Structure 1
Amino acid sequence: MSFSVFIVSFFTWLLLTWSVEWQEVVIGLVVSLVISLIFTKYYRIKFNGKFIPGLFKFLFVYIPVFVWEMIKANLDVASRVLVPGRNVKPGFVKVKTALKGDVAKLTLANSITLTPGTITFDVVDDELYVHWIDVAGTDEESKKSFYDKFEKILKGVYE
């Protein structure tokens, strides 16, 4: 049995049930034990010393920045729809990312896709291919104008 799989399963159970009744906790312990016994050979979850600080950075730094950027992007797209005559210059942008881990790249790609007006359609090695509703210049200028903030925070979270 992998202790880390058990811990992740149990805390996920607690977060999803939002209950502190002893019956729920016991059921959560049993289910987590069964899950850790079954999936321990498939998943190798290892904790390192950066997990907890990275989690706090993700929750208290990245999420607020992401929500703010999403609100701004929603307003931008809404104004493009509602105000006639606004220029729209859609296009594809290829941007090199400094993130090294697959999870970090996935988080960045999903954050870009969840923001209105953009969609990440491919990640190849260290390059993200993004379709933008309004390309504002070169690939690097577009990167700096939009998701450079995301990348800097995610680098602190995951690396």
Structure 2
Amino acid sequence: MKKWTSFVGAFILSYLFWILFLMQDFNILKLGSQELIVGVIVSIIVAYFSSSFFAKKDGLWLFKKFRFINLIIFIPVYIWELIKANFSVAIKALSPNLNINPGIVKITTELQSDYGLAMLSNCITLTPGTITMDIYEDGSENAIYIHWIDATTEDTKEASEIIKGRFEYFVRRLFN
């Protein structure tokens, strides 16, 4: 049953992305039957090769408990955090005196799933000024070691709130 649901979940996600990439001017009526048929074929091929990596337990996890809606809501939140971090790093880089304090800080998270930890780490790494160095899993509380371009604090709790920001809330809603 797991393989079948993983295949279906990967197929649906691939096909949705296919349609999103082909839409012109957000008008789904401009898509022809050829594009839709080729999309089905490509999505079947992609699902065949990627379904074993798509989900460990349930292949349709993204389509349950409003997770897909939470993912759609998370995208503009992430873009806004990315814009803020870009401006912050640009201001620091372009200032006449480079006033930064690089350091490695430990942040804690209550996320337990591998996918959740990976997504939180990627969100942090893709945000300018921070790079995830290591994930330390220890039972109920996991730690992530971050290289921070301007380490304003060494306190784990305060650094966790600054770096994780709003990411952890949405990642928790997606993966826990």
TM-score, with normalisation over the residues of structure 1?
Answer: 0.81
Letter in 2 for 1:135: A
**1:42 corresponds to:** 52
Shift of residue 44, structure 1, vs aligned partner: 6.0
Does residue 26 in structure 1 map to residue 37 in structure 2? Answer: yes
Cα deviation, 1:31-85, whole Å, max 9, x if unaligned, reads: 334555x43873565114863612212222x222222222222222122122233
Does residue 151 in structure 1 map to residue 151 in structure 2? Answer: no
Shift of residue 21, structure 1, vs aligned partner: 0.3
Q: Secondary structure at the match of 1:145?
A: helix
Letter in 1 for 2:102: P
Cα deviation, 1:103-123, whole Å, max 9, x if unaligned, reads: 211111111111111111222
**2:70 corresponds to:** 57
Does residue 135 in structure 1 map to residue 148 in structure 2? Answer: no
Shift of residue 152, structure 1, vs aligned partner: 1.6
Contact 2:124–2:163 (8 Å) recurs in 1: no
For the structure 1 residues 35 and 73, does the alpha-carbon distance in structure 2 shift closer, same or farther, using more than 3 Å as the test?
Answer: closer
CA distance in 2, matches of 1:135, 1:34: 46
Contact 2:132–2:145 (8 Å) recurs in 1: yes
Letter in 1 for 2:146: V
> Which ranges in structure 2 are unaligned for 5 or more consecutive residues?
24-29
CA distance in 2, matches of 1:20, 1:132: 45
TM-score, with normalisation over the residues of structure 2?
Answer: 0.74
CA distance in 1, matches of 2:83, 2:46: 38
**2:85 corresponds to:** 73
User: Which deviates more, 65-74 or 3-12?
Assistant: 3-12
Letter in 1 for 2:165: D
CA distance in 1, matches of 2:51, 2:93: 51
> Which ranges in structure 1 are unaligned for 5 or more consecutive residues?
none
Q: Secondary structure at the match of 1:6?
A: helix
CA distance in 2, matches of 1:142, 1:82: 24
Shift of residue 100, structure 1, vs aligned partner: 1.4
**1:97 pairs with one of 89, 109, 122:** 109
User: Which deviates more, 3-12 or 106-115?
Assistant: 3-12
Contact 2:124–2:131 (8 Å) recurs in 1: yes
